Chain A
Amino acid sequence: MTAPGNPHPLLDAHLVADRGGFHLDVALRVRAGEVVALLGPNGAGKTTALRALAGLHPLAAGHLILAGADLDRPDRRVWTPPERRPIGVVFQDYLLFPHLSARDNVAFGPRRRGADRRAARAVADAWLARVGLAGYARSRPRQLSGGQAQRVALARALAVDPTLLLLDEPLAALDARTRLDTRAELHRHLAAHPGATVLVTHDPLDALVLADRLVIVEGGRVVQTGDAATVTARPRTDYVARLVGLNLHRGHAAGHRVRVGGLTLTAADSVTGEAFVAFPPAAVALHPARPDGSPRNIWLATVAGVQRHGDNLRVQLDGPLPVAADVTPAAAAQLRLVPGRAVWAAVKAAETRAYPVGAPTARDGDPAAPGAAGSP
Chain B
Amino acid sequence: MPVALLVPAGLGLIFLVLPLAGLLAHTPWATLPQRLAAPGVLTALRLSLLTATVATLVCVVLGVPLAWLLARVEFPGRRLVRALVTVPLVLPPVVGGVALLLVFGRRGLLGGWLDATFGITLPFTTAGVVLAEAFVAMPFLVIAVEGALRGADTRYEEAAATLGAGRWTAFTHVTLPLVAPGVAAGAVLCWARALGEFGATITFAGNFPGRTQTMPLAVYLALETDLEAAIVLSLVLLTVSVAILAGLRDKWTAGP
Contacts and interface: CB of A to CB of B under 8 A. Distances in A.
Do A and B form a real pair?
A: yes
A122 interface: no
Contacts of B161: 55-56, 81-83
B174 A112 contact: no
B156 A97 contact: yes
B28 interface: no
Interface in A84-115: 84-85, 87-89, 91, 95, 97-100, 108-109, 112-113
B164 A83 contact: yes
Nearest to A87: B162
B254 to A, nearest CB: 16
B178 interface: yes
B238 interface: no
Interface string B156-171: 1011111111100100
B256 interface: yes
B184 to A, nearest CB: 13
A112 B161 CA distance: 10
B79 interface: no
B159 A99 contact: no
Contact of B159 (A55, A84, A89, A160): A89
Nearest to B177: A99
A156 interface: yes
Contact of B162 (A89, A98, A99, A100): A89
Chain B contact residues (Cβ within 8 angstroms of A): what range? 10 to 19
Chain A contact residues (Cβ within 8 angstroms of B): what range? 20 to 34
A95 B159 contact: yes
A89 B166 CA distance: 16
A373 to B, nearest CB: 30
B251 interface: no
Interface string B188-215: 0000000000000000000000000000
B164 A112 contact: yes
A83 B165 CA distance: 6
B239 to A, nearest CB: 34
Given A98-B178, A99-B177, A112-B169, A91 B159 contact: yes
Among B155, B163, B164, which residue has the most Cβ atoms of chain A within 10 A?
B163
A109 B159 CA distance: 10
A97 B162 CA distance: 13
A108 B174 CA distance: 10
Interface of B: 153, 155-156, 158-166, 169, 173-174, 177-178, 180, 256
Given A56-B158, A56-B161, A83-B161, 19 more contacts: A54-B162, A55-B162, A81-B166, A82-B158, A84-B164, A88-B163, A91-B159, A95-B153, A95-B155, A95-B156, A95-B159, A97-B156, A97-B177, A100-B177, A109-B164, A112-B164, A113-B164, A156-B163, A160-B163
